[in-house]
Amino acid sequence: MTTKHHPHETGARLIRGATGDWEIVLGLEVHAQVSSKAKLFSGASTEFGAEPNAQVSFVDAAFPGMLPVINEYCVEQAVRTGIGLKAAINLRSVFDRKNYFYPDLPSGYQISQYKSPIVGEGAVTIDLPDGSTRTVGIERLHLEQDAGKSIHDMHPRYSYVDLNRSGVALMEIVTRPDMRSSEEAAAFIRKLRAILRYLGTCDGNMEEGSMRADVNVSVRRPGAALGTRCEIKNVNSIRFVQQAIEYEARRQVDLIEDGGKVEQETRLFDTKTGTTRTMRSKEEAHDYRYFPDPDLLPLELDAAYVEAIRESLPELPDEKKERFVAEYGLSAYDAGVLAAERETAAFFESVASGRDAKLAANWVTGDFFAALNKAGLDITASPVSAGQLGALIDLISDGTISGRIAKEVFEILFTSGGDPRAIVEERGLRQVTDTGAIEAAVEAIISANPDKVAEYREKPKLMGWFVGQVMKETGGKANPQAVNEILKRKLDG
């Protein structure tokens, strides 16, 4: 396992331009919806999928005289997340107003944290496909309100506004410009999502808008000073993040190589065309007139409160991965795969409990994952439980069935369910360990194939052919080890 602290020195994936190589520099601002039943400053519900404007309090709709009151649970979730990101927790933070006009922003300002966020610097270790890891710096995490939703294309003359999301708590997680390829950005989002899910602070559901990213992209000659960046707003899937980066980096390289200059601006990613386009230029950028919200006191936390949350934190993916290597003797790769999602890790540990952990890991990452993938199912919807898979592994370990038969039983379990042992009994799949029966089969094969026996004397490799014949004869149920031993004795003896 290697950790590269200076990503620009090694491992960067360069893009080739007409005039040479270019390096992509990426930073992310991820908006993660806090898992909370109520909004950040009002008691209104946050449940997804309600009728438009069904979950709007007078505070969310910014009626005159309404005042925000902080939802303490959201604060706790932000602190928990900060600790999970190995970040400094600021015991004093301040809510500010970010002022701008938009129909889905009823108060004309978003309550956010500007100069004094609740969480300071931290770090996330990302796992790359080649098995290496890299550290991405976290600059800050702050709490803020989400806006509502404007829909401009439902009526020729009117805009529609849904305020259900207005006031929902978001954590904005800002990284350092530490990523150098779209793959790294994707790995970061996946890792961040895993951490948030482990912590239970955000469900990470990008389809429902619980997580979305603003992507800052710039290009430069390797090792040169940072180039001018463009911010691509509100990208809502990992695939789109990668597409947007690829397109945008290429656009910037082409622009510069054609003698142009990258202008700092906010851009939108068009999911239909896979391209980015200007949303607003630097000149059109809002002056948000941030100032401390006078309706809210500074948020003061005491150290004991933070420590209590730290104590209550679950084991996170990195620690789990390390433990899987140390405790179960798994490879770093397998451990990483199994620790990536909380549900997967729990499933694996349940299967591995009291069993051969490596065998369990092989089964989970092998046939089990393959079957889920093929069926397009999430592990939480798996038709095979950890208990069933464990029982199946037990049948292998105690010699009741062979690994080959186990694959068959697994197929049956996956499609029809049931108890593995009962399936084995009902279908007569029990491994033949009765040496007498195996010997009879071996003798029958030997006497029926004297030419092969003669050939075997010259080419011991032919043993495989005999094993195949015996297995065929026994319907695959013969214990392979026993078959090998008996054949060897008979042929060599």
Partner 1 sequence: MSALTDLSLDEARKGLARKDFSARELTRACLDRIAAATPLNGFITVAAERALAMADAADARLSAGEGGLLEGVPLAVKDLFCTQGVLTTAGSHILDGFVPPYESTVTANLWRAGAVLLGKTNLDEFAMGSSNETSYYGPAVSPWRAAGSEERLVPGGSSGGSAVAVAARLAAGALGTDTGGSIRQPAALTGTVGLKPTYGRCSRWGIVAFASSLDQAGPMTRTVTDAALLLRAMAGHDPKDSTSVNRPVPDYVKALDGGLKGLKVGLPKEYRADGMSPEIEALWARGADWLRAQGAEVREVSLPRTRYALAAYYIIAPAEASSNLARYDGVRFGLRVPGRDPTEMYENTRGEGFGTEVKRRILIGTYALSAGYYDAYYARAQKVRTLIARDFEAAFETVDVLLTPTTPGPAFGIGAKTNDPLTMYLNDVFTVTVNLAGLPGISVPAGLDASGLPLGLQLIGKPFAEDELLRVAARLEEAAGFSARPQEWWTA
Q: Which tokens sit at 396?
A: 């292998």
CB 80 → partner 1: shortest distance, Å?
22
Least CB distance to partner 1 at residue 104 (A): 9
At 172 the three-state DSSP class reads: strand
CB of 174 to partner 1, least distance (A): 20
Angle (CA) 355 356 358, round 5°: 135
C-beta of 151 vs 224, nearer to partner 1: 151
CA distances from 46 to 54, 77, 157 (A): 10, 15, 30
| Interior angle at CA 469, CA 432 and CA 488, nearest 5 | 75
CB of 67 to partner 1, least distance (A): 5
Q: Which is nearer to partner 1, 70 or 268 (CB)?
A: 70
- Would you tell me which residues interact with partner 1 (CB under 8 A)? 58, 61-70, 97, 99, 101-103, 106-109, 159, 161, 287, 289-291, 294-297
- Between 67 and 381, CB nearer to partner 1: 67
Q: Between residues 48 and 290, which has the closer beta carbon with respect to partner 1?
A: 290
For residue 377, what is the enclosing H or E element?
Answer: none
CB of 301 to partner 1, least distance (A): 15
User: 399 in helix, strand or coil?
Assistant: coil
DSSP string, 268-298: EEETTTTEEEEEEETTT------EE-TTS--
Minimal distance in Å, beta carbon 159 to partner 1?
6
Could you give the residue ranges of the DSSP H alpha helices within 312-462? 317-328, 332-339, 342-352, 357-363, 369-375, 386-397, 403-416, 420-426, 435-448, 450-458
C-beta of residue 138 within 8 angstroms of C-beta of residue 122: yes
The answer to whether 125 and 336 have CB atoms below 8 angstroms apart is: no
Amino acid at 156: P
In the bound state with partner 1, the residue whose beta carbon lies nearer, of 297 and 377, is 297
15/296 with CB nearer partner 1: 296
d(CA 200, CA 208) in angstroms, rounded, equals 16
Q: Which is nearer to partner 1, 61 or 91 (CB)?
A: 61
Nearest to partner 1 of 291, 333 (CB atom): 291
- In the complex, the smallest distance separating the C-beta of residue 165 from partner 1, rounded to whole angstroms, is 16
CB of 230 to partner 1, least distance (A): 21
